[in-house]
Structure 1
Amino acid sequence: MIRNLFCLNVFLLFVVSGCSSMSQNANTYEVVYTNEALNYEDEIYEKTEYTIAIIPKVINIPYFNAVKKGALEAGKDLGVNVIYTGPTVAEASHQIKIIDDLIEHTDIDVIAVSANDPIELLPVLNKAERNGIKVITWDADTAPEGREFFINMVNPETLGRHLMDTLAWSAGEKGEFAIMTGAKSASNLNEWLKWIQIQRDEYYQNMELVNISATDDDPHKAYLIAKQLLIDYPNLKGIIGNSSVGPPAAAQAVKEAGKSGQIAVVGLSPPNPMNEYLKDGSAQIITLWSPKKLGYLTVALSKNLAQDIHPYNNQEVPGVGKIRMNSDMVIMGEPIDFTKENVDQYDF
């Protein structure tokens, strides 16, 4: 089956065997296709069996770069086309335009999106379903009516409580602390925030949450916020980075202020960007899961869904392991803590 690629103002950035990247002139998103049969000169490609669109909150940050690697690897292993496309800023409006373009200009079987907003995406996702495209969410959910199931990395209560614990352990269970989150509307971040605060209220009465700042998953904005937090709260004892750009920014700000070891930095980040900071004491404990495995799992379950196969509890997914189900939520596994002692054992 031959299909037209986007009939948009796109230009070819580079071509490698089995992989291509495209971008609009406005540089709002990139598209990656994996399929050895692609014909880039004619801007057409042949559908193998299924085509899956993976849409992150934002591109070009380490966390989602690792997801992309796993998704492309799964595409090759499982014999499906993978489109990886996302905005350069974490905004729902940009995701909506991308999804609308996919519906109008490509022939895809499944859309899998990490939602920047749980409600704003619903109309375009419902449009996809009306056009015969199956929809799932991963990393960050929409309201249930927008998708068939949600792939979560870990149990949100477990993660939120654990993040608060890691800060408390690192800050002596007392003092002021701040949280650097990503987009204010992201459902997963807000769920973790809820459990962080519940854990503080239940177990750490001597710790005071003084600020929650939204970075919009922008590394530069996160860095500026971290520097300002150190100015605004001179008695600050800790920072939790609730999205992956937070901990590197906070650790850099703490290091530059000469407060390594005085202000604890914990949170969610891949280990590679935090390696130096963990070793020099600018950060204490970093928590995550394998984002590459998350990308692989998302493609694997999307292919199954295209075949009308839904995930089930204790399902063994090759390349991932056993998954758990909580109603219509897939739980990939448990969080991993990275410290100066073990960070060199991981590479992502």
Structure 2
Amino acid sequence: MRMSKRATTLLAVGLVGALAMAGCSKKGGGSGSSSESGGTQKQISVAFVPKLQGIPYFEAMNTGGQKAAKDLGINWIYKGSTTADPGAQTDIVKSLIQQKVDVLVVAPNDPDSMAPVLADAKAKGIHVMTSDTDAPNSVREVFVNQANTDGIGQALTDSLLEKMGGQGKYAIVSCGQTAANLNAWIDVQKKYTAEKYPKAQIVDTVYAGEDEAKAVSMAKDLMNAHPDLTGLVGECTSSAPGVAKAVREAGKVGKVFTVGLGTPQAMKPYLADGSSSAAILWNVENLGYLTAWAGKQLAEGKTLASDNQVSSDLSGVKYFSDKKELLLGDPLRITKDNVDQFNY
């Protein structure tokens, strides 16, 4: 039967409308993998703001985060300041809040000043975490801790005092004066030294920021101020090579012993010539991976178990619900014998 001109026009309009509705349905929901209902699902974004971008430690964390992003299908954002400045870090965090990332992770230079910024992020519907360094008085939902505080402080003390014969004077060259993790480790070292090594004494603690050259200078000043000093601790990944370099340049290898929280390849030349006895650390790439994984769990509203199977390299990762803390594991002692097991 032949349709009228009016009927033909109405049919055409109906077909166009149906196609338009189908197009709208297809576009809705953002980009990412398809959902079971046939639509699309927005990719989870996890943004990590380190204390300082460009140093081997946080670059290794970024490598781990990128690997996790590939494995887990999330968007990993790594953005930090080139100086360890709390104000600059705050500006970066605020910019990520404006971008409306799903999860915001910070290793705060100043935990107290970061707390209200994290509160603002949470108020805007963003999940907030800390990793590497905590902000315990903030609204953070999870802290990804690299190793037990007592374990790190005791490992630093033991590895140094073994070389010092269990006695003598040593000093600490730390980094940020307000860094919660560094200060917690120093507190453990003070208490543990007094209890286990009564013939040893910490004579001074100084702060070099995240500046290796400043750490070298401060370590030399400490050796000049205390001629009987026989030990130095570099409390972070820039001061660890700094104190070793100071001992090497002062010609005191074998007379002043050093240990520190240094990345393996940065410490390798100092471990080789004895200007550093050991580096105490953890698998930094795994820390980045765990951070990204934890961010995905938060974004998906999942509850962390007391033991978590994260990946083939990260099994049985402990979660302490009372502290909201996810613990990577035990600290590692890195020496000239095992340093090449790590490529960062």
Is residue 136–residue 149 contact of structure 1 (8 Å, CA) maintained in 2? yes
More strand by share: 1
Is residue 75–residue 81 contact of structure 1 (8 Å, CA) maintained in 2? yes
| Larger gyration radius, structure 1 or structure 2 | 2
In 1: Cα distance, 2:123 partner to 2:194 partner: 45
Question: Within the alignment, does 1:52 sit opposite 2:46 as a pair?
Answer: yes
Write the letter of the residue equivalent to 1:66: A
Is residue 216–residue 245 contact of structure 2 (8 Å, CA) maintained in 1? yes
In 1: Cα distance, 2:85 partner to 2:304 partner: 29
Q: Please report the TM-score for the alignment, with normalisation by the length of structure 2.
A: 0.85
Question: Within the alignment, does 1:335 sit opposite 2:331 as a pair?
Answer: yes
In 1: Cα distance, 2:126 partner to 2:32 partner: 24
Question: Within the alignment, does 1:269 sit opposite 2:262 as a pair?
Answer: yes
Aligned match of 1:237 in 227, 230, 241? Answer: 230
SS in 1 for 2:138: helix
In 2: Cα distance, 1:47 partner to 1:204 partner: 58
Moved more, 161-170 or 222-231: 222-231
Write the letter of the residue equivalent to 1:340: K
Aligned match of 1:295 in 272, 288, 295? Answer: 288
Write the letter of the residue equivalent to 1:84: Y
Moved more, 310-319 or 171-180: 310-319
Is residue 89–residue 218 contact of structure 1 (8 Å, CA) maintained in 2? no
Q: Return the offset for 1:144.
A: 4.2
Instruction: List aligned pairs for 1:87-236, cutoff 5 A.
Output: 87-104=81-98, 106-236=99-229
| CA offsets 1:107-153 (integer angstroms, 9 cap, x no match) | 31000111112211111111100111000111111124320011101
Question: Within the alignment, does 1:346 sit opposite 2:342 as a pair?
Answer: yes
Pairs aligned (count): 307
In 2: Cα distance, 1:205 partner to 1:149 partner: 37
Percent of pairs with identical residues: 36
More helix by share: 2
Q: What value does the CA root-mean-square deviation take over the aligned residues?
A: 2.0
| CA offsets 1:295-348 (integer angstroms, 9 cap, x no match) | 011001101110011322111111422211232111111111111222223222
SS in 2 for 1:258: coil
SS in 1 for 2:202: strand
In 1: Cα distance, 2:171 partner to 2:199 partner: 14
Q: Return the offset for 1:201.
A: 1.0
Write the letter of the residue equivalent to 2:251: G
Partner of 1:32: none
Aligned match of 1:257 in 231, 235, 250? Answer: 250
Q: 1:62 to 1:47 in 2, by over 3 A?
A: farther
Is residue 217–residue 245 contact of structure 1 (8 Å, CA) maintained in 2? yes
Q: Please report the TM-score for the alignment, with normalisation by the length of structure 1.
A: 0.84
Is residue 237–residue 263 contact of structure 1 (8 Å, CA) maintained in 2? yes
Write the letter of the residue equivalent to 2:60: A
